[in-house]
Structure 1
């Protein structure tokens, strides 16, 4: 074998050099680095989602306990108030008869995010999807556990700007996540971290 390698010019690995004769061994390190980066991005997504969910849940519990059935609280005069309402529809109280359908949509969004997260290597996308996930879970919790019944519950809204719809922190997170996704898409950044140009 050594004689054949001498004739063909193929060098034989020297003892103690640590050379790995196994094909593809050099490609394992980048693959492991990519897997580690993917796990960190998923961790970032889950962290953002948990923060959004806890803030939304805590704010709803607080305003229901302290503000429901009371006069609105003026935060910035009449420009911004806290006024608790129960919303069975989507934004602007549209589709109040479609509460179950809206619940299914929220659950579908969560499943889509879980699917996309398997190939997630971009931190901005992780943040955007985390905002969407936390917001979707926040409103889905209301629809499942609040009256009048399971999958028909009314979402608690309380942030009331002047001349605008009343909303909550989950709604804000969903809108911010959606805007960020649009920006990332226009810039050509995919969830896997690659850039594309149309």
Structure 2
């Protein structure tokens, strides 16, 4: 078999290692299953949030909270003009803009998605943010200033909803992934690019 000539004129055999080529743009794109996972999580989170809000609005009396697990968990219907857990009640329009910006930024960063845990976290973040953002436009007084429906109450804790749970869970998961050094591309910080396959990445077949 003919020998291959290296850049310095030295002979290379087919068994000698060669430099790995940088990833192509196609390899950097998120795989279809990961995007499907992100969208699926977002859709489930959004649907669960909106359906529970619709039920709470029709079945609960704001003046008569219902006990679910004694005083540990109660259903207490409120209309919240502020953010999660009744924060910033006088800044409704600003909160609407922030929620929209979070959704757009999350979709932008999803272009680098190569990790299943990150797909779940971003899906929860989008679904939760979109759930509360919907209330801003479809509930009174509307026009981006609508009040968010909250109905879950714990002792010594502001009343919240399913969308708030999704956003907080996403934030905790993102913080955990950052603590573990797992990037949105699925690689661990400090690991060489060829040190392993990104989590959730599609396998490639190198056979000719």
Q: Separation in 1 of the partners of 2:118 and 2:3?
A: 49
Partner of 1:175 in structure 2?
Answer: 168
- Secondary structure at the aligned position of 1:96 is classed as coil
Q: Separation in 2 of the partners of 1:183 and 1:9?
A: 50
Q: Which runs of 5+ in 2 are unaligned?
A: 5-20, 192-208
Q: Deviations over 1:129-172 (max 9, x none)?
A: 11100000000000111101210000000000111110000000
Q: Separation in 1 of the partners of 2:125 and 2:61?
A: 27
Equivalent residue pairs, number: 177
**Structure 1 contact 38–119 (Cα < 8 Å) conserved:** no
Normalised to the residue count of structure 1, the TM-score between the two structures is 0.81
Partner of 1:19 in structure 2?
Answer: none
Q: Which runs of 5+ in 1 are unaligned?
A: 1-5, 11-26
Q: Does 1:105 align with 2:85?
A: no
Deviates more, 1:148-157 or 1:87-96: 87-96
Q: Does 1:184 align with 2:173?
A: no
Partner of 1:50 in structure 2?
Answer: 43
Normalised to the residue count of structure 2, the TM-score between the two structures is 0.78
Q: Separation in 1 of the partners of 2:85 and 2:41?
A: 26
Whose Rg is larger? 1
Q: Separation in 1 of the partners of 2:49 and 2:61?
A: 16
Partner of 1:139 in structure 2?
Answer: 132
CA RMSD of aligned residues (A): 2.6
- Secondary structure at the aligned position of 1:97 is classed as coil
Deviates more, 1:164-173 or 1:83-92: 83-92
